[in-house]
């Protein structure tokens, strides 16, 4: 059975630019971490219902893969999709830590969408898949497009490839489960600041290597200080030269060229 890679990502920078309903608008540079990925594949099953075989702490209904299935079924009405999931389960070899700011759940959902599109010959183009993925989670479109590096804006639905050589990245995830909604709430309450047009252009146009050489962890990620205020134990895991991904709890740093 063919295996599909679902890679992790880091946020080279993450700036909160506003709100749209319950969602936050962002400007961020997403970069894939190729050496860290989950593996997904279909397997024949006899059990009733939607089956996900993997190390997950959530229920099937809460899993992003199941949400992707429901969104894809709603968008296509595909009887072949229903039949596939009646006869097959989806197995996930988990390597990306959960609650880590590395996009594991979003990557799994995007990979599942692409698997179904390929296996069932649904004929959806990447833009259509990304639109379906956006209904599952804000980070899913980035993984659908599959760019090594991209500027992501809006509420995650605007994904623009950034032409640069991807960095070799080292990640480290302390055993701290962070609540993303709580971190965003603390940001709004105590840390909100406007992003100037000049700063917007600097972040959007500067390559990642330069950004990481010029910025501190606080400067690069608007959510680092709110996360530290809520989870002070993060300070014990922070090291100079490392950066904070998403709402955490993972840190990353660029590795020097071999």
DSSP 152-208: EEETTTEEEE--SPPPPEEEE--S----HHHHHHHIIIII--PPPHHHHHHHHHS-H
244 assigned ligand-binding residue: no
Q: Consult the annotation and say whether 68 binds a ligand.
A: no
106 is in an annotated binding site: yes
Q: Is 169-254 the same fold as 4-161?
A: no
User: 77 a known binding residue?
Assistant: no
Query: From CA 199, how far away is CA 31, in angstroms rounded?
Result: 20
Give the Cα separation of 75 and 39 in Å (integer). 25
Active site residue 222: no
**Tokens at residue 164, please?**
């640069």
Per-residue pLDDT averaged across 21-34, rounded? 90
Given the residues 9, 15, 67, 114, select the one marked as catalytic.
9
pLDDT at 238 over 90: yes
Q: Over range 78-102, report the average pLDDT.
A: 95
pLDDT tens digits, 170-203:
999 999 999 989 999 999 899 988 889 999 999 9
Would the annotation count 28 as a binding residue?
Answer: no
Q: Record the pTM.
A: 0.94
What mean pLDDT comes out for the span 251-256? Answer: 92
- Identify whether the C-beta of residue 178 lies closer than 8 Å to the C-beta of residue 231: yes
The rounded distance, in Å, linking the Cα atoms of 192 and 105 is 27
Q: What are phi and psi of 17, to 5 degrees?
A: -110, -10
Q: Is 97 labelled a binding residue?
A: yes
The pLDDT value recorded for residue 81 is 97
CB atoms within 10 A of CB 77: 9
Q: Is 24 in a helix, a strand, or coil?
A: strand
To the question of domain 4-161 being in CATH 1.10.150.120, the answer is no
At residue 258 the predicted structure's pLDDT band, cuts being 50, 70 and 90, is low
Residue ranges covered by each domain of the chain: 4-161, 169-254
**Among this protein's residues, is 9 annotated catalytic?**
yes
pLDDT value at residue 112: 98
Q: Which of 55, 139, 201, 235 is catalytic?
A: 139
Between CA 10 and CA 207 the distance in angstroms is: 15
Asked whether residue 190 is marked as a ligand-binding residue, the answer is no
CATH superfamily of this structure's domain 169-254? GHMP kinase, C-terminal domain (3.30.70.890)
- Number of other residues whose CB lies within 10 A of the CB of residue 59: 9
Q: Over pLDDT 90: what percentage of the chain?
A: 84
User: Quick one: pLDDT at residue 205?
Assistant: 97
How far are the Cα atoms of 51, 52, 69, 100, 173 from residue 156, in angstroms, in the given order?
28, 26, 20, 18, 23
Q: Give burial (CB, 10 Å; 0-12/13-18/19+) of 55.
A: exposed
Position 1 pLDDT exceeds 80: no
pLDDT tens profile 31-52 = 999 899 999 999 999 989 999 9
End-to-end alpha carbon distance in the chain:
35
Using one digit for the tens of pLDDT, what is the confidence trace for 53-79? Answer: 998 888 899 999 999 999 999 999 999
Asked if pLDDT for residue 21 goes beyond 80, the answer is no
Give which of 202, 127, 199, 195 is closest to 159, Cα–Cα: 127
């Amino acid at each position: 059975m063919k295996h599909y890679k679902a890679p992790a990502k880091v946020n080279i920078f993450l700036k909160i630019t506003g709100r749209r309903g319950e969602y936050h608008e962002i400007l961020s540079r997403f970069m894939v971490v190729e050496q860290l990925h989950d593996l997904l594949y279909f397997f024949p099953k006899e059990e009733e219902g939607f089956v996900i075989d993997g190390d997950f702490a959530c229920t099937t209904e809460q899993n992003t893969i199941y949400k992707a299935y429901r969104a894809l079924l709603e968008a296509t009405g595909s009887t072949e999709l229903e039949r596939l999931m009646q006869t097959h389960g989806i197995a996930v070899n988990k390597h990306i830590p959960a609650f880590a700011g590395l996009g594991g759940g979003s990557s799994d959902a995007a990979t599942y969408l692409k698997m179904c599109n390929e296996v069932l010959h649904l004929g959806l183009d990447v833009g259509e898949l990304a639109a379906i993925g956006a209904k599952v989670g804000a980070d899913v479109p980035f993984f659908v497009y599959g760019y090594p590096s991209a500027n992501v804006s809006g509420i995650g639905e605007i994904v623009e490839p950034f032409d640069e050589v991807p960095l070799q990245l080292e990640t480290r995830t302390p055993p701290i489960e962070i609540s993303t909604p709580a971190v965003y709430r603390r940001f709004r309450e105590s840390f909100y600041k406007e992003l100037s047009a000049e700063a917007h252009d600097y972040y959007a146009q500067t390559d990642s290597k330069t950004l990481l050489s010029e910025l501190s962890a606080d400067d690069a990620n608007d959510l680092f200080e709110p996360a530290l205020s809520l989870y002070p134990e993060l300070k014990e895991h922070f090291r100079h030269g490392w950066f904070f991904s998403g709402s955490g709890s993972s840190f990353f740093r660029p590795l020097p060229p071999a």
